[in-house]
Chains A and B, each alone.
Chain A
Amino acid sequence: MSLVTATIRRDLLLAARNPGEWANPLMFFLMVAALFPLAVDPDPSFLEKIAGGVIWVAALLATLLSLDGLYRPDVEDGSLEQWLASGESLYGLALGKALVHWCISGLPLTLMSPLLGLMLSLPDEAYAALVLSLLIGTPVLSLLGAVGAALTAGVRGGGLLLSLLILPLYIPVLIFAASAVYHAGIGMTYNGQLAMLGAMLALAMALTPFAAAAALKINLLR
């Protein structure tokens, strides 16, 4: 078994043993959707206009919340040092780590999103767009976030820095995804927005692991 598969297995096992770590961002996601109608206006005709945007902002912030735990524990307990000592490619590690992160953050967010749509009276026509945009968009969030997590893993109190670094990179994803959901809601086509998200995903998959690997090297090989 190669070190990449061993690490993916170990991280999934760790997630299964510590459900609190990945359940916390999901709770946050759910709470935002629950509190919004209470604080703003429970009128469905108002909510249906903002539902897609609110769900996407909540998903983005929930992802940000979970990013700090991506590399920090591995730096602190020496796992990452062992990885560097193994001579295995860091590209594989970075890709595997982002994949595991998506499985425990983006995927559950995507699966929960129809429930939030219901709470925010999302128009019926927009559900498919919501789920598809999250399915394509959240892996981009994990991949981009992994670069920030790798850069700040060795910095004390790196959480704030991580948000500042990564948030601007998330904005294009947010704009196209929310626009896809909004256009679906008013009965227009949204293929173009999904295609843009798909292009971002392809680009992120090919390039971000290199950036994350370089950031980890700067952090640890000294």
Chain B
Amino acid sequence: MTVDRAADLPVLEARDLYCERDDRDLFTGLSFTVGRGELLQLAGPNGAGKTTLLRLLAGLNRDYSGEVLFQGQALLKVYAEYAAQRLYLGHLAAVKKALTPLENLRWLTAAQAPDDDRLWQALEQVSLRGYEETPCMQLSAGQQRRVSLARLCATDVPLWILDEPFTALDKDGVSWLEQQLERQVAAGGTVIITSHHALQSVPGLRQLTLGGSL
């Protein structure tokens, strides 16, 4: 019988993180773990370092001291493996305005390469059916946001790292995104998110509040 060791380990573990920006300490001695079926919400006032911590966990900010472990191994040593299992959605939507939602989504999901049926379904889920052939510059800010959020249901990636995903979404969009977060957590996935939105409806919610002395 083989024991899957990776299954017992936390998905991400932060050990004694320290990060400063412009001679200001953002966080010191920060340690925490995130496991399967958990949603970690990073909270705190503007400028507290939420996005910095999120980029750090995504492996995109490498200017810190301390350790981040992915399933027990140093994150940057297994970066390619890690990158294949996490989806990062930042402030910037990476949506090209001259391309249609379908073309944009095809590029955004190129690493997983889902078939066209799945892409169409994903666009339908974010209520962009009927706009497949419209260049994104003719869509509203919320609709452009939905194009990049369509990735969430076009691929199966166990770890989501989302930076303010509720920005510019309308009521329906917000409840759709909440459902997606619940679905991901229920399926044993993991979500790390920065948001000022109340996420009490999601089971497995944990909050991490950063200080933020401005």
Contacts and interface: CB of A to CB of B under 8 A. Distances in A.
Interface of A: 1-3, 6-7, 10, 13-14, 17-18, 76-79, 81-82, 84-88, 220-222
| Pairs A-B, 7 closest by C-beta atoms | A78-B92, A87-B83, A6-B110, A78-B94, A85-B88, A17-B98, A87-B80
Mostly, the B contact residues are loop
Contacts, number: 69
A2 B63 contact: no
Given A86-B111, A222-B62, A6 B94 contact: no
A1 B107 CA distance: 10
B88 A82 contact: yes
Nearest to B88: A85
B99 interface: yes
A124 to B, nearest CB: 43
B60 interface: yes
Given A17-B99, A79-B94, A221-B60, A86 B83 contact: yes
B206 interface: no
A18 B86 CA distance: 33
Interface residues of B, number: 31
Interface in B49-73: 58-63
A9 to B, nearest CB: 8
A14 B135 CA distance: 11
Interface of B: 58-63, 79-84, 86, 88, 90-96, 98-99, 103, 106-108, 110-111, 113, 135
Contacts of B83: 85-88
B133 to A, nearest CB: 13
B26 to A, nearest CB: 14
A1 B113 contact: yes
B31 to A, nearest CB: 23
A7 B109 CA distance: 11
Nearest to A87: B83
Given A17-B99, A77-B95, A81-B60, A87 B107 contact: no
B108 to A, nearest CB: 7
Contacts of B110: 1-3, 6-7
Contacts of A76: 92
15 contacts: A1-B110, A2-B110, A6-B106, A6-B107, A7-B110, A10-B103, A14-B96, A14-B98, A18-B98, A77-B93, A78-B92, A81-B92, A85-B83, A220-B60, A222-B62
